[in-house]
Amino acid sequence: MLDAAPIRTDWTREEAEAIYNTPFMDLLFQAHTVHRQYFDPNQVQKSKLLSIKTGGCAEDCAYCSQSARNGAQLSASKLIEVQRVIAEAKKAKEGGATRYCMGAAWRSPKDRDMAALEAMVQGVKDLGMETCMTLGMLDEDQVFRLRDAGLDYYNHNIDTSERYYSEIITTRTFADRIDTLNRVREAGIKVCSGGIVGMGEQQLDRIDMMLALATLEAHPDSVPVNMLIPIADTPLADVEKLDPIEFVRSVALARILMPKSHVRLSAGRTDMSDEMQAMCFFAGANSIFVGDTLLTADNPEEDKDQQLFDRLGITAMAVGCDGSR
């Protein structure tokens, strides 16, 4: 048996670019080989995502329907009640989800909301599920409060490369994102961070986005790879659709550069064929979101996911199992 691929944080752009542009069949073989060295290739982790506060966000992310600044027509809501979150989490667990992710459309949470957020984390933990939140930027006190409440994961995507970032977002910097990731990691919360492909970026931006994550002091525990869902009235509503092969290459690159990370096939699955999703799983994706909605975007229904899993011989990871070898 070949030695397992090493865990490195010193990848160079030249190395990453060479991997990304490897002939496609060789790239799939390399990514799948790395995946098998660290994970059971027939297990996929299921997460469920709930929007706990929708719309009215002060950021201007060009892809997002929840921004109050980019033209989308989504009305703002208040933070939902703690008991409703826990009830929804219970249903998600009954549906096979092992991790419950709670997302709020904020630039950063306000102190008045922290007690409710802590109660949500504690309530979901009491169900025996892993907890994840995505709330925007966090200061040190907020990070510690969430950690002490029992938060397992914090999601904060870098979205794209540093070069292309200002084309997508101007209300915060790429460095702001990295600062929050470092703060979360240093507090002992697991990091979930990935990005979006198909936003009109160049191939090198997709490579640099993965490289930025793979050269952090420690790799993210979870790396969501999203395919843009063009949303009416946003600046990216009419962007040209990405070649599916380019998307699979991005998944494969994430797997090779970050061998022990869970690579999550996230937004955009409604536009992916079963065959494309199967290629992504072969290339190292081993996590998905279940349920018919991702925040405000459509997602495949759970029955359709299960049918695909059955056809591929894939089983869901159990609570407390990360699928690693």
Residues annotated as part of the active site: 57, 61, 64, 101, 132, 192, 264
Rounded to an integer, what distance in angstroms lies between the CA atom of residue 302 and that of residue 308?
10
Q: Where are the beta strands (DSSP E) in 54-203?
A: 99-104, 130-134, 153-155, 190-192, 195-197
Question: What Å distances lie between residue 17 and 22, 70, 105, 204, CA to CA?
Answer: 9, 33, 34, 8
From residue 296, alpha-carbon distances to 53, 75, 130, 292 in Å are 11, 11, 22, 10
Question: In which residue are the tokens 């709020």 written?
Answer: 104
User: What tokens appear for 183 in the block?
Assistant: 């703060």
The rounded distance, in Å, linking the Cα atoms of 323 and 325 is: 7
Residue type, 191: V
Integer Cα distance of 240 and 232 in angstroms: 14
